[in-house]
Amino acid sequence: MYFSPCMRTTYVVGAAAVSVLLTSSALAQVDLSGAWGQRFHEDAPERGAGPEIGDYLGMPVNDAARRRADAWDASKWTMPERQCEPHPADYGPRGPASLRIASTLDPVSQDVVSWHVTALWMLQRRTIYMDGRPHPSPYAQHSWQGFSTGEWEGDMLTVTTTHLKEGWFRRNGLARSEKATLVEYFIRHGDYLTLVTVVKDPVYLTEPLVRTSNWVANPGFQLSPFSCIPTVEIERPRGFVPHHLPGTNPYLNEFAAKHGLPAEAARGGAETMYPEYLERLRQDAGGR
């Protein structure tokens, strides 16, 4: 078959363009699917037994968050209606959260139209939509996992989640409001998966809260069935909610006293996230 010079040029240019598009598409997406075992070397005490009462250090919280946390009582989790609450999407990776990640493919284009992330604790399952659909109206129903959409930025999957039910930043009473927005970055390096989470909450935070969690590929890991049956652990009057009235929580100062910290530092705030705060503490202590 004979191709004129013009046709040959068009063919070569077209083929090159297709090749570039295919190569770019391949490079822009990383396969996140499979089983992932969680690593607790980072923040292990907080993610295991849990943080101490009154420990707000390093958290960019405001006064409203402190007041609410001061009133919190750990006995809340013994209430039947609270015993089976799943971890919300922003806190889920911090708990027992070995993962299984799977994808749904378009049968024709073979594009990933959604990712599905299932976590060990209570088998929480999230769907991350990749098809460009918009987020619902602000008045739409909120849920524990919220509404998530994703897009690739190079080889990093960026996920934006809205419509989260009210949750918590730490399991010691630091609450997160239903107005918060969660942005996540899934980054895979070989057999290692890093998740960077950024939470913005106009109700309880003065600055974004940034945290990271890590997993390693574990092909032999299998999620187990999880059932939760609430029981009456403590007899209470109907409608009673465990709490501490302002100024009555006897445990708030134990954390600072135990670790030799100024009470002000334990109260947290954006300034306690940065290294410069340590120098300020030294100056307040007379340069020691």
CA dist 183 and 94 (Å) reads 15
Give me the long-range contacts of 38-41 (CB less than 8 A, separation at least 24): 38/96, 38/97, 38/98, 38/99, 38/120, 38/213, 38/214, 38/215, 39/214, 39/215, 39/216, 41/214
User: pLDDT band for position 22 (50/70/90)?
Assistant: very low
Read off the tokens for 185.
């970055």
pLDDT in tens, 220-239: 888 888 889 999 999 999 88
pLDDT in tens, 252-274: 999 999 999 999 999 999 999 99
User: pLDDT band for position 108 (50/70/90)?
Assistant: very high
User: pLDDT band for position 48 (50/70/90)?
Assistant: confident
**pLDDT at residue 8 is higher than 90:** no
Average of per-residue pLDDT across 191-201: 98
CA dist 267 and 78 (Å) reads 26
Supply φ then ψ for residue 234, to 5 degrees: -135, 130
DSSP symbols for 84-96: TPPPPTTTGGGSS
Average of per-residue pLDDT across 72-78: 93
Percent of the chain exceeding pLDDT 70 equals 90
User: pLDDT band for position 54 (50/70/90)?
Assistant: very high
Going from the N-terminus, what domains does the chain have, and what CATH number goes with each? 34-54+72-217 (2.40.128)
> Which amino acid is located at 7 in the chain?
M
Residue 181, strand partner residues:
200
Q: What is the DSSP letter of 61?
A: B
Average of per-residue pLDDT across 27-52: 85
Q: Establish how many alpha carbons lie within 13 A of residue 221's alpha carbon, considering only the half-sphere containing its beta carbon.
A: 20
E strand or H helix at 268, and its extent?
Answer: none
